[in-house]
A and B are shown apart, each in its own frame.
Chain A
Amino acid sequence: MKQRFISSVQIILQLALTTVGLTGQSYPGKPQIIRCRSLEKETFSCWWKPGSDGGLPNNYTLFYSKDSEEKIYECPDYLTSGPNSCYFNKNHTNPWTTYIITVTATNEIGSNSSDPQHVDVTSIVQPDAPVNLSLETNTSANMSYIWARWSPPPLADASFNSHVYHYELRLKPEEKEEWETVSVGMQTHYEVTSLQAGVKYIVQVRCMLDLGEWSEWSSERSIQIPKERLPPEKPTIIKCRSPEKETFTCWWKPASDGGLSTNHTLLYSKEGEEKVHECPDYKTAGPNSCYFDKKHTSFWTIYNITVRATNEMGSNVSDPHYVDVTYIVQPDPPVNITLELKKSIKRKPYLVLTWSPPPLADVRSGWLTLEYELRLKPEEGEEWETIFVGQQTQYKMFSLNPGKRYIVQIHCKPDHHGLWSEWSPEMYIEIPTDFRVKDMVVWIIVGVLSSLICLTMSWIMIMKGYRMMAFILPPVPGPKIKGIDTHLLETGKSEELLSALGCHGFPPTSDCEELLIEYLEVEDSEDQQLMPSHDTHCKNTKIILKETDSDSGRGSCDSPSLLPVKCRESHSLPSALQTQDVRAKEKKGGKGSWETQCTASEQKTLPCNSESKKSCTWLAAQLPSNQAAMFAYHSTVEAFRITLNTTNVNTSPVLVGNEENRQSLYPIAETAYDGMEKINEMEYSKTDQTTVQVRQNQQNDKSPFLNPKLMDYVEVHRVRQDEEPTLLLKHKENSGKTKKCTVPGTSKEYTKVSTVMDHHILVLLPDQRTQNTPVSQEPVAETSENPQQSQAEKNTSYSTTAPSDSTRDTSGSDYMDPSSFMPSFK
């Protein structure tokens, strides 16, 4: 039967399964019995957990059987213990009996049963937790304890309250983790002793029947154990401090107050007084402090200070504190600290620290004097470097490592007794890495810019080179004198320049040697001679001229010229001749080089090196002056004088007024100079009819060669080719050379043409006003327009003076006396 039933059931189940497979519905899942529990050993309940419902409403039935019987019963009460539970009341509960319990879930498709559960009532007993726990504290005889009460767990059936429970109580201070468990017994109250005062405790209880398990712990209850009520302990006076040496404050630390509100009073007595005072001011300096204002502060007096703490239970007094305010001065930290980086002259940065005394301290009265100490370290450093500063309020620090960040602090202290203040707040300063880097950048920029400018300038120069050259070195205007080949002169110019350059480097020898030209005469013909018009200054020249033979008066000025005297006869002559020679050549063909002249003279006059050099230097260094020219004249004159006295073809007559000077008596023709060496040349020059006659009147016959100053005037007679006119430059000897030295103003310029006589002769007047006036247009020109040219021409000697035709026609202003350059030469 049974097997059939089962097989049929299986078939049905299979059908059901197929049905489920078709419809998505199935028989319910297997329910599970969770637990069975008896609260009081007389009833019990079982709870189960449903399985899957198979998509259909399920019906749960609990079946049980007892081990003593075969019969299967269904749950008597599904409701009392809540859903999915079965309550077995007293009637259905048999102790010492094993229950076999199964839960079956059923729906439309089928049913499913849980595994059977075997339950013995006595083994599943666990009561509920006790309830209504209440705590009280009590204090008796200085002991605190907790009085705990609770109730046994309530039961569903009130009639079963006769059960006896065992209780356990546990407690802990609120902040702790570990519980302290106390076995209470069967009573429902307990007294906990040996508690800490002032601690909050948490308490729980649980219960157990004589068999079974302990219940859960009841809900927590907490209670605060009150503090002890004790007299306060001894307070401690921490310190007394005067921030400004005028008032002071004392602080104390209260000890345990015994759980009661405690009052503190500060009492003090002063040295030599019996009377005890109370603190005048508890408030100003904050809690637990006493402030003594100025009125209550005495110096050089010992205060005996005590603090008394008082509460209901009693009072306690601190140890006495003895204070002399003089020794407890501790100022506030300095304020207004500034850090400033400055650069010294050597560009090394240094740090300037300034600060102010603390605002409370009255340092101006002399009552309080502060000393300062500062400390610093690199930010990452460990050790402070401490520097005592003294009374000053600033400090300069050198030798700081660049590129580091420093921390600086300052504190202060009264100069004698007293304590250091707190350190001021940290101040930070960063030392820049290097100041020089910036400077380097600046210099680089400057350098680049300047080089750019230079490049641009040079580029412009190249582009406009010729113009610039013309601007810097204007072209020498060619002489416009008839009878002279201007082209030759132009070509000769470069040579002149070269000679000038070549002779540079010789310093001018003497300033004393000056040449004054009193007047100039230009004549067209030999026969016509003009009396030089003497300047008023030179009126006495004639008188002096008579005395010129003597050496008197010249030595002082002409000391350099005295030396050459000896050499003059031997060596100066050749040199003079040489110069003359070159000059003549140039005159002829413009090929004479001045360099060669100089060098030649030097070479030739080896014995008289100094002299010849001197002559050269004159020529070179006295570019703008006429002296060189005069010198040349002079030398030539002498040369002629010595060599050719009579070979003079020139018809130049002896000048009036030159008679005194025997040297001047010899007319000198340019052609004549050649006579010594080459008569042909002389002849040639003669045929050219450019005869220049230079007459020199020398005061001193002994040293005519080196003393161009002596020459007052020069007459040049020039014979033109056609008309044979003679340009006669008259150099009249300076009336007094000594006079000249002493009175430099006597030099005159002949820039004015007074009259043109017979269309041949220009009469030139000295113009004092226009000394040094540059002569821009001088065709006649011994003197050239610019100094260089004049120099050159002077060096070249008279060749330029030769043409006189232009002189004749031009106005007088055209003529420039070489002497006009003398001032500049000076």
Chain B
Amino acid sequence: MCGAGAAPRSAHGRAVTGGRLWGSVAAPPPSPGDPFLPGCRAQSVPPVPGTLRAGWLTVQKHFPPRDNELGRPARKCHTSGMLTPNGKEYAQKIPREELTHVILKLLQAWKEPLSHFNQHIEHHQQLPDDSLSKAKQISNMVHELKTGVEKVTEKMQSMGIISNSLNGIASSEGTGLSISNEANMMSDSDFIHCFRRDSNKVQSYLKILKCRIMPENSC
């Protein structure tokens, strides 16, 4: 079961540390028959942004939002068009496969814009190195998180926890491209706002997913 994890483990060494930072989602207690078995934890647990958030705060300092944080009407996020659960009940009702799908879609949608963003801020003279490295770290984490979630998804599929209806994920990358173009048009503060929102979304969905699959584990 965990054999596949050997190779990715080294590749996602940081994912492990990220997982620790991610709190309950990142380090669920193992239970028999779940994909978060101890031996597999290192590779199966997705890294999520405890540091992502810290990094966000650091980066945001240099892109202060106008007025207060929500002091102006809707900014258009490139992921706004995506249909995502916007409440607890919805997130609990939606089939696990779809929830997983949503998570992956969100992560995928940020892959390209983040790398763009990184390139963009590299030319930003005022930014200290700390923020630059943080931004890169965030980008890496999102990538690793996506990989981790994919691994978990595969595992869950193989274990029959969720169905195999997610095979079309790869095809969504095509739409991701157009989305990322839209993202490139955003201002920096909007970008950060949207990323913050979506990272929070992903985190919430992952928590819900975990508690749906393993309700006995600290849920």
A→B interface (CB under 8 Å): 245-246, 271-272, 294, 297-302, 304, 320, 322-324, 326-327, 362-367, 369, 391, 415-417
- Which residues on A sit within 8 Å (CB–CB) of B91? 367
Contact of A416 among B53, B86, B219 (CB under 8 A): B53
CA distance A742 to B209 in the complex (A): 78
Q: Is the CB of A362 within 8 A of B86?
A: no
Whether A367 lies near B207 (C-beta < 8 A) is yes
CB-based contact A364/B211 at 8 Å: yes
Q: How far is the CA of A246 from the CA of B89 in the complex (A)?
A: 9
Q: A323 vs B70: C-alpha distance in the bound complex, in angstroms?
A: 6
Is B87's CB within 8 Å of the partner chain A? yes
Q: How far is the CA of A301 from the CA of B201 in the complex (A)?
A: 11
Contact between B70 and A365, CB atoms less than 8 A apart: no
In the bound complex, how far is the Cα of B23 from the Cα of A324, in angstroms?
23
B87 & A294 in contact (Cβ 8 Å cutoff) = yes
Q: Does B129 contact A (CB under 8 A)?
A: no
* B201-218 with Cβ < 8 A to chain A: 201, 203-204, 207-212, 215
Q: Which residues of B contact A299 (CB under 8 A)?
A: 86-87, 201, 204
The answer to whether B87 and A366 have CB atoms under 8 Å apart is: no
- Are B210 and A366 in contact, with the CB atoms below 8 A? yes
**Are A365 and B219 closer than 8 Å at their CB atoms?**
yes
- 14 A-B pairs besides A302-B74, A322-B70, A416-B53 with CB distance below 8 A are A271-B73, A271-B80, A272-B76, A299-B86, A300-B86, A300-B197, A300-B198, A304-B74, A322-B71, A323-B70, A365-B219, A366-B219, A367-B204, A369-B23
Closest B residue to A323 using CB positions: B70
B189 an interface residue at 8 Å Cβ cutoff? no
A567 to B88, CA, bound (A): 103
Point out residues on B near A: beta carbons under 8 Å.
23-24, 53, 69-74, 76, 80, 84, 86-89, 91-92, 197-198, 200-201, 203-204, 207-212, 215, 219
Residues of B within 8 A of A416 (CB): 53, 200, 203
B64 → A minimal CB distance (Å): 16
Whether B23 contacts A272 by the Cβ 8 Å rule is no
Cβ of B204: which chain A residues have Cβ within 8 Å of it? 299, 366-367
- Within 8 Å CB of A320, what residues of B? 73
Check A365 against B197 for contact (C-beta < 8 Å).
no
Report the nearest A residue to B200, measured CB to CB: A326
Q: Give 20 pairs: A residue, B residue, CB < 8 Å, sorted on A.
A: A271-B74, A272-B80, A297-B87, A299-B201, A300-B84, A300-B198, A302-B70, A302-B73, A322-B71, A322-B72, A362-B88, A363-B219, A364-B215, A365-B88, A365-B208, A365-B211, A366-B212, A367-B92, A369-B23, A417-B200
Q: Which residue of A lies closest to B214 (CB)?
A: A366
* Chain B residues within 8 Å of A367, by CB: 88, 91-92, 204, 207-208
Report the Cα distance A320→B53, complex, angstroms. Answer: 28
| B contact residues around A324 at 8 Å (CB) | 70, 197
Q: How far apart sit A822 and B131, CA to CA, in the bound complex (Å)?
A: 93
A298 CB contact (under 8 Å) in B24, B80, B87, B198: B87
Q: Is the CB of A245 within 8 A of B88?
A: yes
Residues of B within 8 A of A327 (CB): 69-70
A299–B76 alpha-carbon span in the complex (Å): 15
Question: What chain A residues lie within 8 Å of B212 (beta carbons)?
Answer: 366
Q: Which residues of B contact A302 (CB under 8 A)?
A: 70, 73-74
- Report whether B24 and A369 are in contact in the complex, using a CB–CB cutoff of 8 Å: yes
With A364-B219, A365-B92, A367-B91 known as contacts, the answer to whether A300 contacts B207 (CB < 8 A) is no
Q: Which residues of A contact B74 (CB under 8 A)?
A: 271-272, 302, 304
Q: What is the CA–CA distance of A589 and B58 in the complex, to the nearest angstrom? A: 112
Q: Contacts of B86 on A, CB cut-off 8 Å?
A: 298-301
* A300 near B200: Cβ-Cβ < 8 Å: yes
Q: Once bound together, how far apart are the Cα atoms of A369 and B23, in whole Å? A: 10
Also in contact, A246 and B88, with CB within 8 A (given A302-B73, A367-B207, A391-B23): yes
Q: Is the CB of B87 within 8 A of A246?
A: yes
Contacts of B203 in A (CB 8 A): 416
Residues of B within 8 A of A323 (CB): 70
| A residues less than 8 Å from B76 (CB atoms) | 272
Q: Is the CB of A415 within 8 A of B23?
A: yes
Bound Cα distance A534, B56 (Å): 105
Bound-state Cα–Cα, A420 to B18, Å = 25
A391 contacts across to B, CB distance below 8 A: 23-24
Task: Give the docked Cα–Cα distance between A532 and B207 (Å).
Answer: 98
In the complex, the answer to whether A326 meets B24 with C-beta atoms within 8 Å is: no
B148 vs chain A, min Cβ distance (A): 17
Min CB distance B11 to A, Å, is 28
| Distance, CA A299 to CA B202, complexed state (A) | 12
Residue among A272, A294, A299, A366 with most chain B CB within 10 A: A366
Rounded to whole Å, the gap between the CB of B92 and the closest CB of chain A is: 6
Q: Are B197 and A369 in contact (CB under 8 A)?
A: no
Which chain B positions have C-beta within 8 A of A322?
70-73
Q: Which residues of B contact A298 (CB under 8 A)?
A: 86-87
Question: With the chains together, A363 CA to B88 CA distance in Å?
Answer: 11
Task: For the complex, give the distance between the alpha carbons of A746 and B180 in Å.
Answer: 103
Nearest opposing residue in chain B for A304, CB measure:
B73
User: Do residues B84 and A366 form an inter-chain contact, with CB atoms below 8 A?
Assistant: no
Cβ–Cβ < 8 Å partners of A369 in chain B: 23-24, 207
B residues near A326, Cβ cutoff 8 Å: 197, 200
Question: In angstroms, how far is the closest chain B Cβ from the Cβ of A392?
Answer: 10
Return B107 CB to nearest CB of chain A, in Å.
15
Residue in B closest to A296 when the chains form the complex, CB atoms = B87
Name the A residues within 8 Å of B71 (CB-CB). Answer: 322
**CB neighbours of B69 from chain A (8 A):** 327
Residues of B with C-beta under 8 A to A301: 86
Complex CA gap A302/B77 in Å reads: 12
A205 to B84, CA, bound (A): 77
Contacts of B89 in A (CB 8 A): 294
Distance of A365 Cα from B208 Cα, bound (Å): 6
> How far in angstroms is the closest Cβ of chain B from A425?
27
Q: Taking CB as reference atom, which chain B residue is nearest A321?
A: B70
A246 and B90 CA atoms in complex are apart in Å by 11
CA of A163 to CA of B209, assembled, Å: 99
A764 to chain B, nearest CB (A): 78
Give A297 to B215 CA distance when docked, in angstroms. 25
Q: Which of A327, A362, A416 has the most CB of B within 10 A?
A: A416
- Chain B residues near A294 (CB, 8 Å)? 87-89
Of chain A, the residue at the smallest CB distance from B210 is: A366
Q: Which 8 A-B pairs rank lowest in CB-CB distance, beginning with the nearest?
A: A366-B211, A366-B207, A271-B74, A322-B70, A298-B86, A367-B88, A366-B208, A364-B219
Instruction: Give chain A nearest CB distance to B209 CB in angstroms.
Output: 8
Cα–Cα distance between A682 and B34 once the two chains are bound (Å): 103
Q: In the complex, what distance in Å separates the CA atom of A533 from the CA atom of B197?
A: 110
What residue in chain A is nearest B25 (Cβ atoms)?
A: A366
B54 to A: closest C-beta gap in Å: 11
Instruction: Give the distance in Å from the alpha carbon of A647 to the alpha carbon of B98 in the complex.
Output: 122
Within the assembled complex, what's the spacing in Å between the Cα atoms of A245 and B71?
A: 21
- Chain A residues near B92 (CB, 8 Å)? 365, 367
- Tell me the complex Cα distance, A297–B85, Å: 12
Taken together as a complex, chains A and B put the C-alpha atoms of A800 and B189 apart, in Å, by 118
| Complex Cα gap A326–B200 (Å) | 9
Nearest CB of chain B from residue A361's CB, rounded to whole Å: 11
A299 nearest in chain B by CB position: B86
Instruction: A298 to B209: give the CA distance in the assembly, Å.
Output: 19
B215 to chain A, nearest CB (A): 7
Contact B201 A300 (CB under 8 A): yes
Interface centre among A246, A324, A367 (most CB of B within 10 A): A367
Task: Return chain B residues, CB-CB under 8 Å to A417.
Answer: 200
Distance of A560 from chain B, by nearest CB (Å)? 64
CA distance in complex: A302, B73 (Å): 8
A326 vs B69: C-alpha distance in the bound complex, in angstroms?
A: 13
User: Could you tell me the distance between the alpha carbons of A299 and B204 in the complex, rounded to whole angstroms?
Assistant: 11
Chain A residues lying within 8 Å of B87, measured Cβ to Cβ, are: 246, 294, 297-299
Closest to A392 in B: B218
A322 nearest CB neighbor, chain B only: B70
Give every chain A residue within 8 A of B23 (Cβ-Cβ): 369, 391, 415
Which A residue sits closest to B71, measured CB to CB? A322
B79 shortest CB reach to chain A, Å: 9
Q: Which partner residue on chain B sits nearest A270 by CB separation? A: B74
